[in-house]
């Protein structure tokens, strides 16, 4: 997650409260999604950005996870994400996201 997005997430968490914020990721690989998820839950693991040492514990999901998929309009999902879902290793992404949530997410 780049530094600008880290700042946005931090500012939004401060403005609206950590318990009122959910981050939706769209990374193409489990490892990349996991790194971004870790950043918004446990703090920036690269120690380079505004979330360094900031443990927000935010709820975080990937756009291909069932929890997100069930929460959005089916036609919109298929139009915007359906093709991507067919070429990704969704099982790997789901596993990585669940691991991060189980370890670090408070919400």
Q: What is the pLDDT of residue 10?
A: 98
Q: pLDDT, tens digit, for every residue of 33-56?
A: 999 999 999 999 999 999 999 999
pTM (2 decimals)?
A: 0.93
Q: What is the pLDDT of residue 38?
A: 98
* CA–CA distance, 12 with 17 (Å, rounded to integer): 7
DSSP the chain: --HHHHHHHHHHHHHH-GGG-EEEE--SSHHHHHHHHHHHHT--TTS-STTTT-----EEEETTSHHHHHHS-HHHHIIIIIHHHHHS-HHHHHHHHHHHHHHH---
Please state the domain extents for the chain. Answer: 3-104
* CA–CA distance, 92 with 24 (Å, rounded to integer): 16
Q: Cβ of 12: how many Cβ atoms within 10 Å?
A: 16
Q: For a pLDDT cut of 70, what percent of the chain falls above it?
A: 100
């Amino acid at each position: 997650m780049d530094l600008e997005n880290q700042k946005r997430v931090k500012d939004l968490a401060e403005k609206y409260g950590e318990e009122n914020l959910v981050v939706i990721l769209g990374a193409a690989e489990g490892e990349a999604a996991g790194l971004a998820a870790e950043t918004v839950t446990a703090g920036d693991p690269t120690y380079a950005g505004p979330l360094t040492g900031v443990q927000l514990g935010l709820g975080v999901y990937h756009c291909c996870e069932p929890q997100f998929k069930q929460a959005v309009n089916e036609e919109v999902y298929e139009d915007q994400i359906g093709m991507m879902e067919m070429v990704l290793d969704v099982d790997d992404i789901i596993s990585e996201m669940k691991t991060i949530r189980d370890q670090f997410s408070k919400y």
